[in-house]
């Protein structure tokens, strides 16, 4: 039968989608400045990590999250919180790396995101092997009963097939695809724990895959955390707490609207910050930088940190396999984007071509 979401685009959703497109176009037109992008991207990752784990009860503050990510933890009694933060940050990096592979999404991709976010291991985690029940933490009342464990693999396979199909045919706006995927993953609830974090990572992955990465400088999780009651209310739809008694077929228009309004809010905030930052005396690099391809622009963030890099370092930064990284470096040398810094076969390294290095500095 496959996954067939029940929803409609409300006037509020349509308005949010227009706001998203307007902000997206505005940010894309801003002067390209690698240091600024790298800084804003890191800030967005930290915000996403902080707020996504905070939704799940993490007690660390944003400054403490920054310390943990920087390897400066050491908060007695909060070791579990520290681990959650480190894991989610790794999972965000994995999501971005997966997008760079430019292929269809797989079950293994999602299972790997869960493995990193929940266990800190870059290996796929198997789905639950028993019945999962979600209860109210206060009174123990049943809030939701997901499908049985034996049904989860089929439902997940159908969801992934639907995501890949919709991305390919481009019938729906990307934010709607991400919203429906987020909802359905949370509804299937394939794991005993970590479903919320993984559903948010999945939505982020889809948006980046569809060209809505916005240079990686926004955080949807901040909106969720600030409107948490509405977030849970939008997810809890249908006439019953049971997946098979109406939850699966429920009208999820409200969640799609909530998701798109949150995304519009995040995009508009990024637009305001980016416009302010780009106007603070930063000259336009457009004459040279605008001709670069997206992957080359992303690579500038690494060269802003280090003038000379190896193919492996570049591959790790861009999420490329070792062989693909070497081939990319060789191609970029031919195109005049990179220059060989050290020609040694064993220690070959690269730097930006002079025209780009001058603009970067």
Compute the distance between CA of residue 103 and CA of residue 86 in angstroms, rounded to an integer.
27
Q: In this model, does residue 355 exceed pLDDT 90?
A: no
Mean pLDDT of 235-260: 88
pLDDT at 17 over 60: yes
Burial class (CB in 10 A: 0-12, 13-18, 19+), 323: exposed
H helices within the chain, ranges in order?
11-29, 34-55, 62-69, 79-100, 107-114, 152-169, 174-188, 195-209, 221-226, 228-235, 253-278, 286-289, 294-303, 311-318, 322-335, 354-360
Band (278; pLDDT cuts 50, 70, 90) = low
| DSSP single-letter state for residue 251 | B
Compute how many other C-beta atoms are within 10 angstroms of the C-beta atom of residue 124: 16
Residue 43 binned pLDDT confidence (cut-offs 50, 70, 90):
confident
Tell me the C-alpha distance between 181 and 198, whole Å: 11
pLDDT tens for each residue of 293-318: 777 877 887 888 788 999 998 888 88
Question: Can you give the pLDDT at residue 284?
Answer: 47
| 1 pLDDT more than 60 | no
- Cα 202 from chain centre: 7
Structure tokens at 278: 């780009």
pTM: 0.77
pLDDT for the residue numbered 251:
93
Gap between the Cα atoms of 181 and 2, Å rounded: 13
Per-residue confidence (pLDDT) for residue 359, from 0 to 100: 73
CB atoms within 10 A of CB 169: 8
In this predicted structure, what is the pLDDT of residue 338? 94
Least-confidence region, from 24-38, 238-252, 302-316:
24-38
The rounded percent of the chain whose pLDDT value lies above 90 is 52
Q: Are strands 308-309 and 349-352 parallel, antiparallel or unpaired?
A: antiparallel
Task: Identify which has the larger pLDDT, 164 or 31.
Answer: 164
Least confident window among 4-13, 176-185, 232-241: 232-241
Q: Which of 273-282, 319-328, 334-343 has the lowest mean pLDDT?
A: 273-282
Lowest mean pLDDT among 33-42, 112-121, 184-193: 33-42
Res. 281 pLDDT band, cuts 50 70 90: very low
For the stretch 200-216, pLDDT in tens is 999 999 999 998 988 78
Task: Look at residue 14 and tell me whether its pLDDT is greater than 50.
Answer: yes
Q: Report the share of the chain in percent with pLDDT over 70.
A: 92
For the chain, the average pLDDT equals: 87
Q: What is the pLDDT of residue 280?
A: 53
Domains of the chain: 33-277 (1.10.3290.10), 286-360 (1.10.10.10)
Closest by CA to 158, choosing from 115, 198, 179, 188, is 188
């Amino acid at each position: 039968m496959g996954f067939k979401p029940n929803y409609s685009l409300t006037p509020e959703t349509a308005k949010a989608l227009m706001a998203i497109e307007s902000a997206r176009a505005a940010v894309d037109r801003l002067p390209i400045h690698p240091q600024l992008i790298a800084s804003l991207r890191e800030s967005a990752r930290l915000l996403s990590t902080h707020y996504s784990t905070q939704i799940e009860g993490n007690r660390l503050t944003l400054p403490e999250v920054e310390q943990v990510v920087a390897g400066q933890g050491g908060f007695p009694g909060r070791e579990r919180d520290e681990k959650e933060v480190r894991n989610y940050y790794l999972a965000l990096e994995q999501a971005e790396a997966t997008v760079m592979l430019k292929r269809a999404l797989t079950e293994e991709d999602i299972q790997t995101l869960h493995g990193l976010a929940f266990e800190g291991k870059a290996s796929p985690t198997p789905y639950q092997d028993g019945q999962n029940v979600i209860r109210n933490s206060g009174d123990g009342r049943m809030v939701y009963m997901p499908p049985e464990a034996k049904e989860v693999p089929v439902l997940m396979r159908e969801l992934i097939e639907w995501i890949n199909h919709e991305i390919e045919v481009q019938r729906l706006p990307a934010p709607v695809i991400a919203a429906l995927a987020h909802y359905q993953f949370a509804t299937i609830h394939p794991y005993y724990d970590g479903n919320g974090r993984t559903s948010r990572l999945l939505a982020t992955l889809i948006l980046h895959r569809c060209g809505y990465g916005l240079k990686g400088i926004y955080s949807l999780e901040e909106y969720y955390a600030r409107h948490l009651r509405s977030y849970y209310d939008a997810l809890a739809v249908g006439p019953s707490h049971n997946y098979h008694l109406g939850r699966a077929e429920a009208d999820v228009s409200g969640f799609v609207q909530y998701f798109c309004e949150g995304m519009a809010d995040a995009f508009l905030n990024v637009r305001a910050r980016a416009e302010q930052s780009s106007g603070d005396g930063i000259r336009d690099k457009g004459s040279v930088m605008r001709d670069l391809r997206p992957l080359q622009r992303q690579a500038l963030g690494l060269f802003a940190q280090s003038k000379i890099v190896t193919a492996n370092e570049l591959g790790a930064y861009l999420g490329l396999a070792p062989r693909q990284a070497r081939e990319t470096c060789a191609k970029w040398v031919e195109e005049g984007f990179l220059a060989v810094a050290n020609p040694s076969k064993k220690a070959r390294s690269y730097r930006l071509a002079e025209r780009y290095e001058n603009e970067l500095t």
